[in-house]
């Protein structure tokens, strides 16, 4: 159950946000066995006066399932970087930050069961 937080410093049209959320979910699905219905994506639009750096950031929290390896993170991050540069501006490409947080299975719960109790959920 990856939870993806995308922070940008420009107002994006609703259709662009919808496309961005689907695209990010698709990247997780394409590189892992994660089902699309289990991926949460949130877009946070910040006013420029409230941030120190204007480049987009992405924080991805996900549980440490066997197929969520360092090797699969690279193509996910590359695709997300390309998409954010396209949407927010090429001038930000070199400053786009993407961070994965690997959560132990016992540290996450879905529907009242920890992921270690029911990893297939």
Tell me whether residue 101 is in a domain.
yes
Tell me whether residue 60 is in a domain.
yes
Looking up tokens 């995308």, which residue turns up? 6
pTM over the 0.85 mark: yes
Tell me whether residue 109 is in a domain.
yes
Domain that residue 88 falls in: 3-114
Tell me whether residue 121 is in a domain.
no
Phi, psi of 94 (to 5 degrees): -70, -10
Q: What is the CATH number of the domain that holds 69?
A: 3.30.429.10
Tell me whether residue 110 is in a domain.
yes
pLDDT digits (tens, 9 = 90+) for 19-31: 999 999 999 999 9
User: C-alpha 69: how far from its chain's center?
Assistant: 15
**How many independent structural domains does the chain possess?**
1
pLDDT digits (tens, 9 = 90+) for 41-71: 999 999 999 999 999 999 999 998 889 999 9
- d(CA 33, CA 48) in angstroms, rounded, equals 37
Tell me whether residue 10 is in a domain.
yes
Report CA-CA distances (Å) from 79 to 16, 26, 33, 104: 16, 10, 17, 25
Tell me whether residue 18 is in a domain.
yes
């Amino acid at each position: 159950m990856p939870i993806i937080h995308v922070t940008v410093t420009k107002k994006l049209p609703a259709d662009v946000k919808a496309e961005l959320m689907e695209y990010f979910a698709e990247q997780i699905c394409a590189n892992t066995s994660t089902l699309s219905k289990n991926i949460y994506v949130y877009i946070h639009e910040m006013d420029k006066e409230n941030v120190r750096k204007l480049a987009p950031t992405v924080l991805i929290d996900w549980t440490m399932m066997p197929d969520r390896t360092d090797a699969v993170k690279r193509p996910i991050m590359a695709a997300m970087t390309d998409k954010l540069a396209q949407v927010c501006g090429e001038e930000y490409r070199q400053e786009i930050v993407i961070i994965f947080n690997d959560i132990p299975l016992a540290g996450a719960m879905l529907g009242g069961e920890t992921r270690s109790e029911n990893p297939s959920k």
